[in-house]
Chain A
Amino acid sequence: MRGFLRPDGRKGIRNLVLVGYLVECAHHVAREIAQAFREQEVHLVGFPGCYPNAYALRVMTRLCTHPNVGAVLLVSLGCEGFDRSGLRQAVEATGRPVETLVIQDAGGTRKTIAAGRAWVTGALATLGAASAVSMGMDELVVGTICGGSDGTSGLTANPAIGRTFDLLVAEGAACLFEETGELIGCEHHMAARAATPELGAEIIRSVAKAARYYKTLGHGSFAAGNAHGGLTTLEEKSMGAYAKSGASRIRGLLKPGDLPPHGGLYLLDMISDGEVRFGFPNINDNVEIADLIACGSHVILFSTGRGSVVGSAISPVIKVCANPDTHRRMREDMDVDAGRILEGRGTLDEVGREIYARVRAAASGERTASESLGHQEFTLLYKSFEPIGPACLPR
């Protein structure tokens, strides 16, 4: 594996220019800048809200200083509430090239787009001169998510990813699983796997928070497509989703923007703290992927049965297809055919090793299916969090 060394000591497996809009009003201008470089490593992220939000600032800061990011262009309308100078200073402090364009000061749409494209051209030339260094497994952070699940997800792709996680954790990687709302019913089993009883209690609390949140909002993380694919209840879906975590000890509980302090398996709690506010905490899979990337994930392992096509800005997404019929229909969108296990053409261990090999390949510069197809989905919403307590990261 090879990485780009950043001043904070972390290494990135990509070296991209990130264009970030700081309110929806700046989205079009930022997109016009980024789209001029669509064959190159220029990605677009942003926050749509006009009112300030500490979580959004934290996530944007983590994304702009993510090891896969080499340079940052911020695009502001000028009157939004986002702390653009605070974000810029945080990026500057890491030594990355950074520029802020304020549309109202730059003279409007066309002038800002032209200035932005000129800056990105220069940044790409600077990044192109960077040389990669070798990177160890203990420097890698891998997140996992399932989307478009069906009855095969919990039989093939999810437990195969669990096997991959076991291999990665054994070699020192940090592995993140997430979405406590999809782990309802598994909380006591998870707590028994926690490094300490205090961490176990935190895990149970985080799932209870998710259950309360979903109850207030009227339904859980269970879609009609899940039922069509053979899943009947939320707890059934949870058991299948839980298999992605593998069999390692759970080393800690993170919230969005917390970086894993060392290798091992971590649970990411992405449901807002406090009263139920801001609506659904995860309106789509990319909200969760953005939170995983804000925790430093270099690569995302995405399990799908029904057939999701999404990728992500910043970090490559590896698609593990659980359902052999889906794989035949959507082969081009998939990196790994885990559904073949159901047809006797492979075992969980074999597929787990294949996913592991895909992680190494992606971390050596090879493009994943969603990267090749140009997918760069991204969503960032309002949320609010209390900092994690000391029991969440036992030594």
Chain B
Amino acid sequence: MASSEHQPDSPERTVLDGPGTTDRRLILLSPQDNVCVACTHLAAGDTVVIDGAAVTLAERIPLGHKLARRRIRAGETITKYGAPIGSATGDIAAGAHVHLHNLKSEYIPSFGMDAIEGSAGGRGQ
């Protein structure tokens, strides 16, 4: 591509190109991140290796979902793609599922499937 059009620090350059974890079932999108992403379905009791340390999962982590790379304290910023995606609403153990129950947006609240009934719902963009 034309070099004048290229922006070297674009975030997608880190996607799958960055330093991975030592476990092929996980993706670490950026070295600054405190969460990893499951690239397969992981079951409770599975042992994964995060930054060289074995962690036994307390809960199921579906494909595409996030788990804590290390212990995260309440109020801490959650970082994915090297960018802030919200903050922790409680303490999160290493290897724990990071989702609606312990991560909130700094912009607009999110709605899960269990919130659809009786609410405006949302769209699937």
| A interface with B by C-beta (< 8 Å) | 145-152, 154-155, 158-159, 162, 166-167, 169-170, 179, 182, 184-186, 189, 192-193, 211, 214-215, 218-236, 239-240, 242-243, 245-249, 264-265, 282-285, 305-306, 308, 323, 325, 341-344, 347-348
Q: Which residue of B lies closest to A163 (CB)?
A: B12
Bound together, the chains give a CA A192 to CA B122 distance in angstroms of 31
Besides A159-B15, A224-B121, A246-B12, 4 more A-B contacts (Cβ < 8 Å) are A219-B108, A225-B113, A234-B107, A242-B11
Q: Select one of A225, A226, A342 contacting B39, CB under 8 A.
A: A342
**Chain B residues within 8 Å of A152, by CB:** 63-64
> Does A235 lie within 8 Å of B85, measured CB to CB?
yes
Chain B, interface residues (CB within 8 Å), range: 35 or more
Cross-chain pairs A/B with CB under 8 angstroms, 28 sampled: A146-B125, A150-B64, A151-B64, A155-B15, A162-B10, A166-B6, A170-B5, A185-B84, A219-B120, A221-B125, A222-B108, A223-B124, A226-B110, A226-B125, A227-B100, A232-B99, A235-B107, A236-B85, A240-B81, A243-B15, A247-B6, A248-B1, A248-B7, A249-B5, A264-B5, A282-B123, A283-B123, A323-B64
Q: Select one of B7, B62, B109 contacting A249, CB under 8 A.
A: B7
Known: A159-B15, A235-B106, A325-B63. Is A248-B124 also a contact (CB below 8 A)? no
**Chain B residues within 8 Å of A306, by CB:** 124
**Chain A residues within 8 Å of B66, by CB:** 151, 230, 232
> Does B124 lie within 8 Å of A308, measured CB to CB?
yes
> Does A158 lie within 8 Å of B64, measured CB to CB?
no
- Nearest CB of B to A310, in Å: 11
**Chain B residues within 8 Å of A305, by CB:** 64
> Does A232 lie within 8 Å of B5, measured CB to CB?
no
B86 at the interface (CB under 8 A from A): yes
Known: A150-B64, A151-B63, A249-B4. Is A226-B124 also a contact (CB below 8 A)? yes
B65 at the interface (CB under 8 A from A): yes
In B79-104, the 8 Å CB interface with A consists of 80-81, 83-86, 98-100, 103-104
- Nearest CB of B to A210, in Å: 10
> Does B16 lie within 8 Å of A227, measured CB to CB?
no
**Chain A residues within 8 Å of B99, by CB:** 227, 230, 232
> Does B112 lie within 8 Å of A233, measured CB to CB?
no
B105 at the interface (CB under 8 A from A): yes
**Chain A residues within 8 Å of B10, by CB:** 162, 189, 193, 245-247
Q: Select one of A219, A343, A344 contacting B122, CB under 8 A.
A: A219
Q: Select one of B27, B63, B86, B123 contacting A235, CB under 8 A.
A: B86
Q: Which residue of A lies closest to B116 (CB)?
A: A224
Among A152, A218, A222, A282, max chain B CB count under 10 A is at A222
**Chain A residues within 8 Å of B13, by CB:** 247
- Nearest CB of A to B21, in Å: 14
Bound together, the chains give a CA A324 to CA B113 distance in angstroms of 22
Q: Which residue of B lies closest to A153 (CB)?
A: B64
- Nearest CB of B to A313, in Å: 19
**Chain B residues within 8 Å of A325, by CB:** 63
Top 8 closest pairs, chain A to chain B, by CB:
A151-B64, A170-B1, A236-B85, A230-B64, A230-B65, A233-B105, A243-B12, A223-B122
**Chain A residues within 8 Å of B81, by CB:** 154, 239-240
- Nearest CB of A to B72, in Å: 13
> Does B7 lie within 8 Å of A234, measured CB to CB?
no
Bound together, the chains give a CA A235 to CA B36 distance in angstroms of 16
Q: Select one of A218, A234, A285 contacting B110, CB under 8 A.
A: A234
Q: Which residue of A lies closest to B86 (CB)?
A: A233
B53 at the interface (CB under 8 A from A): no
> Does B64 lie within 8 Å of A222, measured CB to CB?
no
> Does A220 lie within 8 Å of B64, measured CB to CB?
no
Bound together, the chains give a CA A151 to CA B80 distance in angstroms of 12
- Nearest CB of A to B27, in Å: 7
Among B11, B29, B123, max chain A CB count under 10 A is at B123
